[in-house]
Amino acid sequence: METKLQSQGTLQSRGEPWSEQLAQEIIAEHKALDGATLPILHALQEAFGYVPEAAIPLVAQALNLSRAEVHGVATFYHDFRRQPAGKHVLKLCGAEACQAMGADHLAECAEKKLGVKVGETTGDGQVTLEHIYCLGLCAVAPSGMIDGRIVGRLDEARLDAMQMCIRDSYCLGLCAVAPSGMIDGRIVGRLDEARLDAMLAEART
Ligand code: FES
């Protein structure tokens, strides 16, 4: 049985290049499970970063299903990507509590800023924008996730900071607590004016 995090696609993929041998190994490892289709598809996505089209007939054959049945499962659940993701994956929660706090508007902003629709990857391959459905962070809605790190109280400013951060070659990998910085090798997240003052004072001592 997959965990909630697995079902939400939050595990980081290994991004292996397509290999029929690896796919067959993954299928063999999971095919005895009850309802093996979903665990196999999750494991394939975890390994390759998406569910390769070439894996569908292999899964069908191993589970004695038709290709259409496996294809139907892979396309029904939006957790499964059909193409490799970009370098960074930005997921915005589209479930009820986040919607009530402006998630739809936020998704529109992200689409405009990135120039893609939800489910697509930017032309430079840098960012994939996706929906996710309830991260359990409803108390700090609207919420999202960047490269597996969860972020609450998302607003346009924070979205801007996250997008700038992940597109910037100087990215500290702290997009979830953007804006961020570093002093004497120590990283600092959620920078604001007061925290910046404290860092500057520390730098002067
Ligand atoms: S509805 Fe978005 S985190 Fe729960």
- The answer to whether 140 touches 97, Cβ cutoff 8 Å, is no
Mean pLDDT, rounded, for 69-91: 89
Q: What is the pLDDT of residue 87?
A: 83
Strand partners, 90: 129, 146
Ligand 1 near 129 CB (within 6 A): no
- Does ligand 1 lie within 6 Å of residue 143's CB atom? yes
Q: Which of 5, 10, 135, 145 best tests ligand 1's pocket when mutated (most atoms within 8 Å of CB)?
A: 135
Instruction: Spell out the alpha helix ranges (H) of the chain.
Output: 4-7, 20-30, 37-48, 55-63, 67-76, 96-100, 103-114, 156-167, 193-204
14 has a pLDDT exceeding 70: no
pLDDT for residue 167: 61
Is pLDDT at 13 greater than 90 in this prediction? no
pLDDT in tens, 130-145: 999 888 889 989 998 8
Find the 69 Cα to ligand 1 centroid distance in Å: 30
Distance CA 48, CA 194 (A): 43
Distance, in Å, from the CA atom of 115 to the CA atom of 19, rounded to the nearest integer, reads 32
Beta carbon of 172 within 6 Å of any ligand 1 atom: no
What is the number of alpha carbons within 13 Å of residue 7 lying toward its C-beta?
A: 9
Instruction: Please enumerate in sequence order all residues whose Cβ is within 8 A of that of 174, keeping only pairs 6 or more positions apart, or say none.
Output: 165, 180, 187, 189
Pocket test for ligand 1, best of 4, 104, 132, 143 (most atoms within 8 A of CB): 143
**What distance in Å separates the CA atoms of residue 145 and residue 85, rounded to the nearest whole number?**
14
> What's the predicted TM-score (pTM) here?
0.68
* The residue type at 40: I
> By the 8 A CB rule, do 166 and 127 touch?
yes
Instruction: Give distance in angstroms: CA of 135 to centre of ligand 1.
Output: 5
Residue 183 CA to residue 160 CA, distance in Å, equals 23
